[in-house]
Each structure stands twice: as structure tokens, then as C-alpha cells.
Amino acid sequence: MIAAGAFIPGKTALTQAVTEQGAGFWVLAPLKTTQGFTVLVNRGFVPADKRGEAEAMTPAGPVAVTGLLRVSEPGGGFLRANDPGAERWTSRDVAAIAAARGLEGVAPYFIDADATQNPGGLPVGGLTVVSFRNSHLVYALTWFALAAMVAGGAAILFAHERALRRR
């Protein structure tokens, strides 16, 4: 997905993250699109020691963001709840972040920015892991088992009919 617009300054939220680069934060910045609605953009990952610089890393002026459209992650992280009052976000809950930032007309999804390099190298985008379960072996075994059951049922029926005809 590509979204064009301008980031809204002073509204960035940081959500806790653990990536292949270590522990740190996702930088979620609201983008006021040229279509008139607002969408949260996960600009990428910053290490914990760069947390205070995240707001300054948000570009001013018109931008175009390319990335993956993702559904909101309400409720918090594993065994941890979001705490908007303490600015502690453990999940990318679009509705809660929008409410805490006073944003209106926010899309119910967010965009994970691609790996396009940001000025200064941070935040690091493109760290979204997309993986699908590979259940093909289970599917194959299921269909072979069903085929075997049909063949067995047909054999029993054939044997039963044969026995009836012999009488």
C-alpha cells in the first residue's frame, strides 16, 4: 500500500518491540493523508537508547509511505496491557493510540513501512515478518486417509453384495 500525506507532529507513539536487532520500540506516527483521513504508520524500529529521539526522526512536509497494511493489535502484548496514561504501549492498538493522542478519523489499520532507508538510518523499517503455516503434509494425509476410507467402504459394500448374490 502507498499512502501520501504529511505526518502530524507531536503525536508519535512508541510500542515495545523485540526484533532481530534486539529490544526497543516501534515508532508509530500518524499520517494525515491527501484523501483526508489519518492512518498510523509504523515507521520502523529504534533501539531503546534512541527512544528519546524518535519524535525528531519524523519528517516534516509531504511524504509517500510504502508498506504493508496491517490490522490493529488491540488489548496489549503477552501478559501485559497497554497503559496509555503512563505512555506504555505493548501492542499497536490503533483505536487506543488514536484516542490517547486525540486523533479523529483514524483508519482501523496501520501501515508497516517498507525497508526504504530513513535519513540518519533510524527508524529501521521493513522488519515485518510475514510467515504462513505450511500444513500441506496434514492436508495430504487427511485426503489420503479419506480416500482409503472410501476405498475400504467400497470394498466392504462389494463383499457384502457378492455374499448376498451367492445365497
- pLDDT tens-place string over residues 87-111: 899 999 999 999 999 999 999 999 9
Give residue for cell 453384495. Answer: 161
- Tell me what the pLDDT averaged over the chain comes to: 92
Which percentage of the chain shows pLDDT scores above 90?
69
What does the pLDDT read at residue 134?
85
Q: Phi and psi at residue 8, in whole multiples of 5°?
A: -90, 115
Tell me if the bond preceding 47 is cis, omega within 30° of 0.
no
What percent of the chain is modeled with pLDDT above 70? Answer: 100
> What is the model's pTM?
0.75
| Alpha-carbon dihedral 89, 91, 97, 100, rounded to 10 degrees | -30
Taking the C-alpha atoms of residue 10 and residue 13, their distance in angstroms, rounded to an integer, is 9
How far is C-alpha 65 from the chain's CA centre? 16
